[in-house]
């Protein structure tokens, strides 16, 4: 046999429930618990870095290089780091080396042009050999090893960043030197 709920069978509250309902300390405690729960919920960003207190993206670039091109096409590689609490997007690249500079991804042995790359909050966007990269088509001149190619990275939220890509030997791959 299961215990019966006095409220369900009689339609009346028990004396203990009446005391709790009228006790101002119980009401204050319940109100404080509710306020604390709401405050904590408001602080949560759900892990996507989109909360109001996360601050703007704080972007830096490192590991930049361009393998020496062997024809009128070249690729650029680098890492964009975001120390900020808000995500951003790389939306474009410009350079005096070419009027046709775009961003590409490589998946399943296929390369395709994309409109943007995500730069996650407190994360990094890696443009690296065999993967995502900057593509230069129709070079105005062919840079040699030891030269530097300047590019401007454009973002959805952040100001543009100017980066110098040192031109390395055609087979240069920093992953092989770690």
Residue-wise pLDDT tens digits, 13-56: 555 555 555 666 655 555 555 555 444 444 444 444 445 447 99
Distance CA 71, CA 68 (A): 9
Looking at the fold, whether 96 and 162 belong to one and the same domain comes out as yes
Q: What are the tens digits of pLDDT across the range 130-165?
A: 999 999 999 999 999 999 999 999 999 999 999 999
Residue 77 lies in a domain: yes
- Contacts by 165-169, CB closer than 8 A, 24 or more apart: 165/64, 165/65, 165/66, 165/76, 165/78, 166/64, 166/65, 166/66, 167/65, 167/66, 167/67, 167/68, 167/143, 168/65, 168/66, 168/67, 168/68, 169/67, 169/68, 169/145
Q: Average pLDDT, whole number, for the chain?
A: 82
Residues 73, 108 within the same domain: yes
Domain annotation covers residue 129:
yes
Question: Does position 166 have pLDDT exceeding 80, yes or no?
Answer: yes
Q: Check whether residue 126 and residue 78 sit in a common domain.
A: yes
Q: What are the pLDDT digits (tens) for 90-127?
A: 999 999 999 999 999 998 889 999 999 999 999 999 99
Structural domain boundaries enclosing 118: 59-171
* Domain CATH for 99: 2.60.40.1890
Note the pTM of the prediction, 2 decimals: 0.70
User: 74 and 39 in one domain?
Assistant: no
| One domain, residues 33 and 73 | no
């Amino acid at each position: 046999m299961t215990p019966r709920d006095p409220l369900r069978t009689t339609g009346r509250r028990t004396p203990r429930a009446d005391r709790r309902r009228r006790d101002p300390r119980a009401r204050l405690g319940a109100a404080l618990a509710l306020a604390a729960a709401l405050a904590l919920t408001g602080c949560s960003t759900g892990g996507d870095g989109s909360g109001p207190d996360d601050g703007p993206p704080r972007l830096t670039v490192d590991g930049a290089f361009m393998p020496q091109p062997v024809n009128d096409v070249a690729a650029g590689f680098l890492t964009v780091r975001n120390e900020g609490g808000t995500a951003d997007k790389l939306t474009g690249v410009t350079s005096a080396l070419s009027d046709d500079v775009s961003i590409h991804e490589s998946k399943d042995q296929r390369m395709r042009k994309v409109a943007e790359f995500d730069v996650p909050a407190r994360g990094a966007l890696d443009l690296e050999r065999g993967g995502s990269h900057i593509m230069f088509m129709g070079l105005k001149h062919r840079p040699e090893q030891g030269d530097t190619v300047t590019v401007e990275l454009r973002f959805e939220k952040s100001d543009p960043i100017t980066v110098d890509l040192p031109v390395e030997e055609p087979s240069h791959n920093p992953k092989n030197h770690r």
